[in-house]
Structure 1
Amino acid sequence: MSERRQHSRQQTGLTVEVFDRHTGRSLGRLADLSAEGFMLCGVDVPEADSVWECHLVPAPPLDEIGEIQLGADCLWSRAGTDGQLGWAGFHIIDIAEDQAELIEQLLVMLGGGDPSS
């Protein structure tokens, strides 16, 4: 499989929960993040080819950033089996400029460096 990402992803190592903005349903926790997308893991991950309006909720010590609102397309999904967590990959398709700046701040806090690297 060829690598199509234009930005490197930062593994979180810290808790950032992802929720559906309309229902409040937990979609999972971030496993990694880039300026263009993210991967999450969870018990009941969304199906591939579904579009979501999400809010990302960082836990301490990242919570000073606040919630981040965005729209994302689930590109792929793998359900967990036998008590395992599922995984899903998302492409960010709709994000306001101020929210994109929050993603950049979060990337710096996660990776300690330039989010565009």
Structure 2
Amino acid sequence: MDDRRQHSRFSTQLQLEVFELHSGTRIGRVVDLSADGFMLFSDTPQTPDALVECRLVSEQLIEGIGEVRFGADCLWSRPGADGQHSWAGYHIIDLADDQANALAVVLQHL
């Protein structure tokens, strides 16, 4: 597989959930995270090439940060082995400076 990542991804022991910003719908749980993307484990199939405005929410505050907001593009989606879940890879495409700083703090704790 051709790995084009510019930043290292970090797996997490933290409970990081992703929600659609406007509807509040839970998209899934973060498996690994970097400054420019993440892999998601979801209860529902994700749609490749779909753009989503997201809230990355931590179960616990990380240096006062409870969430990070950004836009993301679903690059790929695959069904899970059990046929009831899915895996998906997202690229972060829209991240304001203050949110980039918040994401950097979260990444320091992974």
Structure-2-length-normalised TM-score: 0.92
Corresponding residue for 1:35? 35
> Residue 93 of structure 1 aligns with which residue?
93
Residue aligning to 1:113: none
Q: Is the 8 A contact 1:77 1:88 kept in 2?
A: yes
Q: Which runs of 5+ in 2 are unaligned?
A: none
Contact in 2 for aligned 1:55/1:70 (Cα 8 Å): yes
Asked if 1 retains the 8 angstrom alpha-carbon contact of 2:72 and 2:94, the reply is: yes
Structure 1 regions of 5+ residues with no counterpart?
111-117
Measure, in 2, the Cα distance between the counterparts of 1:96 and 1:45: 28
Aligned residues of 1:43 and 1:86 also touching (Cα < 8 A): yes
Amino acid at match of 1:69: R
Identity of aligned residues (%): 52
Shift in Å at residue 63 of structure 1?
A: 7.7
Whichever structure has more helix as a proportion of its residues is: 1
Structure 1 segment 1-117 matched on structure 2, within 5 A: 1-60=1-60, 62=62, 64-80=64-80, 82=82, 84-110=84-110
- Is 2:59–2:66's contact at 8 Å kept on the other side of the alignment? no
Change (3 A) 1:68 1:84: same
**Residues in 2 aligned to 1:36 and 1:90: alpha-carbon distance in whole angstroms:** 9
Counterparts of 1:28 and 1:38 in 2: how far apart (Å)? 11
In the comparison of the two structures, how many residue pairs are matched?
110
User: Once superposed, which parts of structure 1, at least 4 consecutive aligned residues long, lie more than 4 Å away?
Assistant: none
Any idea what the Cα deviations from partners look like across 1:18-52, whole Å, max 9, x if unmatched?
00011111100100000010111011142111000
Once the two structures are superposed, residues 41-98 of structure 1 have per-residue CA deviations (whole angstroms, 9 ceiling, x without a partner) of 0111421110000001001254831211000000001133535431100000101000
Secondary structure of 1:88's counterpart equals strand
Contact 1:27/1:45, CA 8 A, preserved across alignment? no
Q: Distance in 1 between matches of 2:63 and 2:57?
A: 7
